[in-house]
């Protein structure tokens, strides 16, 4: 019976630790503290050096939990990334995730070698375990501080975070092998990297397609769709790793494939994975906090702080500026991306690999990584919002996103029902402007269900339900936000939106914050194209309108019937293409064929 009681006590303590982590997130949101720091603190307080007094030194279990958590986090990241986002920033993100990781590790290594008296390979291993970033923590902080990033910056950080972890894991394992079994030639290292990447890419894509096939063609019970996808992601990760491929790359690509295909129960899967990844992160962070001993950190505190300072103010900025040279990022965006090199659980997780395989002085790597992560969270984590405002790479958010309801429609995959409460100052109520791919189907008013015709005009407090493609449902949020007219165009209302030619310039002016002459506010977009465009318009024709550009999407009988919107600054210049531009054009063609192959 004592053994059973011990098991029950372990379950109780584990549940209490996770519960403490969940509740502590409320404190973090209130004060804008980095969640990772809070979860690590919970683990440290519960450990042998804290009031909890729990003695925990199971590196193997920590590594297993960390691997599962990281795999689910990467799958969830791929699931939420659109192919268009992935394609548009693939160049800079891949440069940061590969060359940037190597440069960061190489520039950090000399300080580790000098301060700790290490060999070159050992110092490079220190740089490798702290070279990858934790963008999840970045986006939480930006959200908590009421900020949103410029689309290109956000997309670059998003894709980098999903792709730099596999490369950092590979680099760490290669350096650990150097220390354990002797030198390998760089040719062998490159061959191994290519092999892991190819196996990971192939199995990730095939695994993602297999998950989609089962979801859409097998009659799974209603409650099993989300658990199946989660388990399938772990199968892809484990199977690829067993075949000596990059399991982390495979699971990210599998998520990318599943997230960009029409599937059953898509919203259920996303919500379920959101909860699972939160729990996985909390469990991983708390275990890592339990594993560390603050008393042992003192011996390497000064060298670790020197490594952290080098990483934050020198290694990451130099790597970012060098990697982004070909991609024409403004210096403000480069500086912000450099400052957002926030270190997180991945660094501590990688530092547990030397502990697991018993590399000499393995605790030194773990302790240094832990101090570097804490310094990064405390210095960069709490200053991220100020840096975003100072560098003008984020726009302040005074609005709160509306509560969105999404309902799957059995029997088809192309549409779902999306519902919103109608706020008094929402763009939809003020002008009735909606993207052409969203169609109102019913309105709930005073507990009565009305058709759109019966409910016309829509009133504040109504609930409007629309048919929309699942992958675009989130984009509708901005049309139901309770907010005054913006002072300038909001990038989130541009790019993927199409309106009919019968809407007026005045309607766009109010929704997008444009300056339009009073006498032109009643002119329809179709008439604007007829007056200012070419005599016979064609799809793709572009007309500037203040800070946005109107793009002819559909033309019927010589009249523009559907217009797309995008920022005017994204218009191509009328200059001969540079060699880089020609290379990017070739890449886009290759990418389109790759997308077609994915199906």
Q: Which two tokens stand for residue 467?
A: 């048919």
The percent of residues in the chain predicted with pLDDT above 70, rounded, is: 81
Does a structural domain hold residue 318? yes
The answer to whether position 546 is within a domain reads: no
Q: Which residues of the chain have pLDDT under 50?
A: 398, 486-496, 567-576
pLDDT (tens digit per residue) in 489-506: 444 444 445 677 887 887
Q: Which of 308, 312, 334, 309 is nearest to 323 (CA)?
A: 334
- CATH number (domain holding residue 264): 1.20.1530.20
Let me know whether 417 and 293 are in one domain: no
Give me the DSSP letters along 461-486.
T-EEEEEE-GGGGGGGGGGS---PPP
pLDDT at 296: 77
Question: What whole-number distance in Å separates Cα of residue 502 and Cα of residue 520?
Answer: 14
* Token pair belonging to 48: 């042998």
CA quadruple 27, 29, 34, 40: dihedral sign? positive
Is residue 275 domain-shared with residue 358, that is, in the same domain?
A: yes
Do 290 and 199 lie in a common domain? yes
3-state secondary structure of 448: strand
Secondary structure of residue 550 in the 3-state scheme: strand
What pLDDT score does 3 carry? Answer: 67
For residue 172, is it within any domain? Answer: yes
Residue 574 lies in a domain: no
Q: What six digits make up the tokens of 437?
A: 């791919």
Strands 498-500, 439-445: parallel, antiparallel or unpaired by DSSP? unpaired
The answer to whether position 570 is within a domain reads: no
Give this prediction's pTM. Answer: 0.72
pLDDT at 319: 94
Residue 477 sits in which domain range? 398-484
Same domain, 336 and 411: no
Residues 20 and 102 occupy one common structural domain: no
Evaluate whether residue 81 is within a structural domain. yes
Backbone angles phi, psi at 328, to 5 degrees: 60, 40
Helix (H, G, I), strand (E, B) or coil at 535: coil
Domain boundary residue among 361, 377, 396? 396
For residues 236 and 250, is the Cβ–Cβ distance under 8 A?
yes
Tell me, rounded to whole angstroms, the distance of Cα 396 from its chain centroid.
Answer: 19
Query: For residue 564, what are the β-bridge partners?
Result: 498, 551
Per-residue pLDDT reduced to its tens digit, 242-265: 998 989 889 989 998 998 887 877
Which residue reads 């199409």 in tokens?
A: 498
Helices (H), 182-224: 186-217
**Count of domains observed in the chain:** 3
Residues 242, 282, single domain; the answer is: yes
Cα distance between residue 554 and residue 564, in whole Å: 9
Helix axes 120-129, 362-379, angle to 10 degrees: 40
Cβ–Cβ < 8 Å for 333, 325: no
The whole-angstrom separation of Cα 161 and Cα 132 is 8
The span from the CA of 567 to the CA of 545, in Å, is 9
HEC secondary structure over 76-127: HHHHCCCHHHHHHCHHHHHHHHCHHHHHHHHHHHHHHHHHHCCCHHHHHHHH
How many whole angstroms separate alpha carbon 590 and alpha carbon 518? 47
Q: Which long-range contacts (CB under 8 A, 24 or more apart) does 309-312 make?
A: 309/375, 310/107, 310/108, 310/111, 311/104, 311/108, 311/130, 311/341, 311/343, 311/372, 311/376, 312/341, 312/375, 312/376, 312/379, 312/380
Same domain? For 244 and 261 the reply is yes
Give the separation between CA 231 and CA 175, rounded to whole angstroms. Answer: 31
For the chain, report the end-to-end CA distance as a whole number of angstroms: 57
Is 260 domain-assigned? Answer: yes
213: in domain: yes
471 shares a domain with 331: no
Order of strands across the sheet that contains 542-545 = 498-500, 559-567, 548-556, 542-545
**Cβ neighbours around 554 below 10 Å, total:** 15
Same domain, yes or no, for 402 and 359?
no
125 and 188 in a single domain? The answer is yes
Contact status, residue 476 vs residue 466, Cβ threshold 8 Å: yes
Beta bridge mates, 114? none
Indicate the SS3 state at residue 237.
helix
pLDDT value of position 582: 61
What whole-number distance in Å separates Cα of residue 172 and Cα of residue 196?
14
Give pLDDT, residue 323. 93
CA 67/CA 173 separation, integer angstroms: 14
Do 269 and 319 belong to one domain? yes
User: Using the 8-state DSSP alphabet, how is residue 524 labeled?
Assistant: B
- The CATH number assigned to the domain holding 431 equals 3.30.70.1450
Q: What is the DSSP letter of 431?
A: H
Distance between CA atoms of residues 474 and 79, nearest Å: 14
Together in a domain, 128 and 5: no
């Amino acid at each position: 019976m004592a053994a059973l009681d011990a098991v029950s006590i372990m379950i109780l303590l584990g549940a209490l630790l996770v519960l403490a982590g969940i509740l502590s997130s409320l404190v973090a949101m209130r004060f804008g503290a980095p969640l990772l720091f809070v979860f690590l603190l919970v683990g440290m307080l519960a450990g042998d050096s804290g009031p909890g007094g729990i003695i925990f030194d199971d590196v193997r279990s920590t590594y297993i939990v960390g691997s599962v958590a990281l795999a689910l986090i990467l799958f969830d990241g791929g699931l939420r990334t659109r192919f268009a986002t992935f394609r548009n920033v693939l160049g800079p993100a891949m440069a940061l995730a590969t060359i940037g990781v190597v440069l960061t590790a190489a520039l950090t290594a000399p300080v580790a070698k000098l301060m700790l008296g290490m060999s070159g390979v050992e110092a490079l291993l220190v740089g490798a375990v702290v070279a990858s970033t934790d963008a999840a923590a970045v986006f939480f902080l930006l959200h908590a501080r009421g900020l949103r990033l410029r689309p290109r910056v956000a997309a670059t950080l998003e894709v980098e975070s999903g792709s730099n972890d596999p490369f950092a894991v590979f680099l760490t394992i290669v350096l650990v092998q150097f220390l354990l079994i002797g030198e390998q030639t760089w040719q062998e290292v490159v061959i191994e990297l290519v092999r892991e990447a190819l196996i990971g890419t192939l199995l990730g894509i095939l695994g993602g397609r297999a998950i989609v096939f089962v979801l859409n063609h097998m009659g799974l019970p209603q409650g099993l769709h989300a658990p199946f996808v989660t388990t399938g992601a772990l199968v892809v990760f484990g199977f690829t790793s067993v075949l000596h491929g990059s399991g982390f790359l495979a699971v990210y690509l599998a998520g990318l494939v599943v997230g960009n295909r029409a599937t059953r129960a898509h919203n259920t899967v996303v919500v379920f994975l959101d909860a699972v990844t939160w729990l996985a992160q909390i469990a991983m962070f708390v275990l890592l906090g339990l594993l560390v001993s603050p008393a042992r950190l003192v011996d390497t505190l000064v060298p670790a702080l020197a490594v952290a300072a080098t990483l934050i103010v020198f290694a990451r900025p130099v790597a970012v500026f060098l990697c982004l040279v070909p991609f024409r990022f403004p210096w403000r965006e480069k500086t912000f991306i450099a400052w957002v090199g926030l270190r997180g659980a991945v660094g501590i997780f990688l530092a547990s690999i030397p502990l697991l395989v018993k590399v000499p002085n393995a605790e030194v790597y773990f302790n240094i990584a832990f101090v570097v992560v804490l310094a990064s969270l405390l210095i960069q984590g709490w200053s991220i919002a100020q840096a975003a405002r100072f560098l003008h790479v984020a726009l302040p958010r005074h609005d709160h996103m509306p509560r969105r309801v999404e309902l799957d429609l059995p029997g088809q995959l192309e549409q779902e029902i999306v519902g919103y409460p109608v706020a008094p100052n929402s763009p939809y109520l003020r002008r009735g402007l909606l993207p052409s791919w969203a169609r109102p189907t019913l309105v709930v008013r005073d507990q009565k269900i009305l058709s759109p015709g019966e409910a016309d005009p829509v009133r504040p407090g109504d609930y409007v339900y629309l048919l929309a493609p699942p992958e675009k449902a989130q984009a509708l949020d901005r049309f139901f936000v309770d907010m005054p007219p913006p002072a300038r165009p909001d990038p989130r209302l541009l790019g993927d939106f199409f309106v009919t030619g019968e809407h007026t310039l005045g309607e766009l002016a109010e929704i997008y914050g444009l300056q339009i002459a009073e006498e032109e506010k009643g002119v329809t977009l179709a008439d604007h194209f007829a007056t200012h465009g070419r005599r016979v318009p064609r799809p793709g024709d572009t007309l500037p309108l203040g800070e946005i550009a109107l793009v002819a999407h559909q033309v019927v009988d010589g009249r523009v019937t559907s217009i797309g919107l995008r920022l005017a600054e994204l218009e191509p210049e009328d200059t001969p293409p540079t060699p880089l531009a020609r290379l990017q054009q070739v890449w886009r063609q290759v990418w389109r064929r790759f997308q077609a192959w994915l199906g």
